[in-house]
Amino acid sequence: MNFERLLASRTDAMGASAIREILKVVSQPDMISLAGGIPAPESFPLEIINELVTNVIEKYSSAAFQYDQTEGFMPLRQTLAAYLQEKDIQASTDQVLIASGSQGVLDAIGMVLISKGDRVAVEAPTYLGALQAFNPYEPEYVCMETDENGLIPRSLDEVLQTGAIKFIYLVPTFQNPTGRTIPIERRQEIAAIIRKYNALLVEDDPYSALRFRGTDLAAIKTLAPEHVVYVSTLSKVFAPGLRIGFCVAPDLIRKWLVIVKQGVDLHTSTFNQALAAEYLSGGYLKRHLPKIIDLYKPKQEAMLGALEKYFPNEFRWSNPEGGMFLWAEGPKDLDMEKIYWKSVKKKVAFVPGKYFYTAKGEGIETMRLNFTMPDKTTIDHAIKILADVIKTEL
C-alpha cells in the first residue's frame, strides 16, 4: 500500500534528517560516543527509587496512577514553585505547568505560537531538539550571532528591528551545543531589549543546576518576568527517562499551552510527577545533586586536559563552568564531517557542529563534545584518537 499521497504538507519541512543518518553509527558496538547529550547512568539515584515509590503510594495511593489535570500534578507544581523561588523566579503553583520533558513544552510552544512562515529567532548555533519541536509548525528561522559569551545583544536588537518575530529561543546557561553561558551584563541587556520591543523570549534552562565552578547567574526570566517563558526539566538532575519538564509562562501563553497539551497527551505521567514531587520535596534532590556534580566535574576536567594535551594549536574550545558539552572549533574550512567519518572508523563519535546551525555552510569547522557519558580514561583515549585523525586533515 502506498500512502505517500496521504502525508500532510508539513512533512516536507521535516524530511530525512541528516544528523539522524550520520548518528546511526553511534550505536555500533565498541563505539566511544562523545556524540550523545545524555546523563551518565551512574548519575541516577537508583538506590532511592524504591523509597520514593513507597512514599508516593503511601501519600497519594491510587491518585498517583489516575488521570490527572493537564496542568500537572498539584504536589509537584507546589514543590516546583518553591524550587523556582530559590532561583528568584516568582511563580504561584497555578503558574507552573508540567510537561512531558522540556521537549513537550517546546512542542506546545510551537503549536501555540507558530503559523506557517512565522519568524523565530534562534542562536547560531542552537539546540537541535528545539528545531525538531518547532519544525512541524513550519517557521522560518532568523539567526542571531553569538560569540564565546553566547548571544550578542546587538544581534538580538537588529533582528527584532527587522519586524515580526514570533519569539526568541535561547539556552543562556551551558548552552547545548556550545556549553557557553551568557554573562549577567548581557542578560540585563537582553532583558532590556525584549522589553523595548515587547517581544517574547523562550528561555530554555536544562543545565544551570549542573554548575561545577563559579556562581549562579540570574535567569533572564527574573529580569523580564512578563516577557519570558522559562522552560526547564528534571532530566539532568533526576532521570531523563521519567520525562518531566516544566515551564512558567505569561498567563495567556500558559492558558494556550494547557489547551494544546490536552490534545497532545492529556497530561504527563501522574506517577512520574509524584515521584518527582517526592524527590524535590523530600530533600532527595538537594542531597543527590552534589553527587552528580562530583561525577561530571572530573570528566570535564579530563576532557579539557586531553584537548590541551592532544589537540593541535589551530583549535580552540569552550571552557564552561558546568553543563554537559564542550565546543571545539578548528581552522576555517576544516571539514569536520569528513573528520567525523574518519574518527567513527576508529570508533570515536562526536557531533559535527554544522548540524546545530539553521543556515547552510555555517559551522563546518566546529564540533560538539559530550563529557558526561564516558569515564575519564576513555575520554582521554578518545580525544587522543580524535586529535590524531584531525592532524591527518590539517
Smallest separation, CB 240 to a copy of itself (Å): 5
Q: What distance in Å separates the CA atoms of residue 126 and residue 357, rounded to the nearest whole number?
A: 6
Rg of the chain taking only CA atoms, in angstroms: 21
Nearer to a copy of itself, 58 or 86 (CB): 58
Write down the least CB distance from residue 53 to a copy of itself, Å: 5
Report in angstroms how near the CB of residue 360 gets to a copy of itself at its nearest: 21
Candidate list 66, 92, 161, 162; residue touching a copy of itself; CB under 8 A: 66
If residue 96 lies in a helix (H) or strand (E), which one and from where to where? strand 96-100
Q: Which residues contact 246 (CB under 8 A, 6 or more apart)?
A: 72, 80, 96, 97, 98, 99, 102, 105, 231, 232, 233, 234
Site for a copy of itself in 138-197 (CB under 8 A): 166-167
Question: Which is closer to a copy of itself, CB of 120 or CB of 386?
Answer: 120
Q: What gap in Å lies between CA 101 and CA 121, rounded to an integer?
A: 22
Largest CA distance in the chain: 62
- Closest C-alpha to 371, from 330, 312, 327: 327
Rounded to whole angstroms, how far apart are CA atoms 204 and 229?
Answer: 8
The correct pick among 18, 42, 161, 213 for binding a copy of itself (CB under 8 A) is 42
Cα–Cα distance for residue pair 4/365, rounded to 1 Å: 37
Binding to a copy of itself by CB under 8 A, coded x per residue (else -) over 308-337, reads ------------------------------
Residue 11 in contact with a copy of itself, rule: CB under 8 A: yes
Any bridge partners for residue 228, and if so which? 201
One residue of 29, 30, 147, 198 binding a copy of itself per CB under 8 A: 198
The answer to whether 13 contacts a copy of itself (rule: CB under 8 A) is no
The site that binds a copy of itself (CB under 8 A) totals a number of residues, namely 77
Least Å distance, CB 56 to a copy of itself, is: 9
Q: Do 324 and 207 form a contact (C-beta atoms < 8 A)?
A: yes
| Contact indicator for 56, 275 with CB cutoff of 8 Å | yes
Stretch binding a copy of itself (CB under 8 A), from 57-65, 204-212, 283-291, 342-350: 57-65
CA distances from 48 to 56, 234, 285 (A): 12, 16, 11
**Signed CA dihedral, 153, 206, 113, 356: sign only:** positive
Number of H helices, E strands in the chain: 13, 15
Told to check if 101 binds a copy of itself by CB under 8 A, we report: yes
Q: Which of residues 247-266 bind a copy of itself (CB under 8 A)?
A: 250, 252-253, 256, 259-260, 262-266
Q: Which of 24, 29, 115, 313 binds a copy of itself (CB under 8 A)?
A: 115
Residue 144 pairs with which residues in a beta bridge? 123
Rounded CA separation 137/114 (Å): 6
**Measured from the CB atom, is 250 or 282 closer to a copy of itself?**
250
Please select the residue that binds a copy of itself; options are 13, 18, 41, 183, rule is CB under 8 A.
Answer: 41
For a copy of itself, the closer of residues 13 and 394 by Cβ is 13
CB of 110 to a copy of itself, least distance (A): 8
Q: CB-wise, 20 or 309, nearer to a copy of itself? A: 20
* Shortest distance (Å) from residue 131 CB to a copy of itself: 9
Site string for a copy of itself, 116-145 (x = CB under 8 A): --x----------x--xx-xxx--------
**HSE-CB of 142 using CA atoms within 13 angstroms:** 19
Residue 148 DSSP symbol:
T
Closer to a copy of itself by CB, 136 or 305: give it: 136
| Dist CA 113 CA 50 (whole Å) | 41
Instruction: Give the residue, chosen from 13, 18, 46, 394, that forms a contact with a copy of itself under the rule CB under 8 A.
Output: 46
Closer residue to a copy of itself, CB minimum distance, 255 or 287: 255
**Range 220-249, binding a copy of itself (CB under 8 A):** 226-227, 235, 239-243
Q: Which is nearer to a copy of itself, 227 or 368 (CB)?
A: 227
> Is the CA virtual torsion 228, 261, 235, 132 positive or negative?
negative
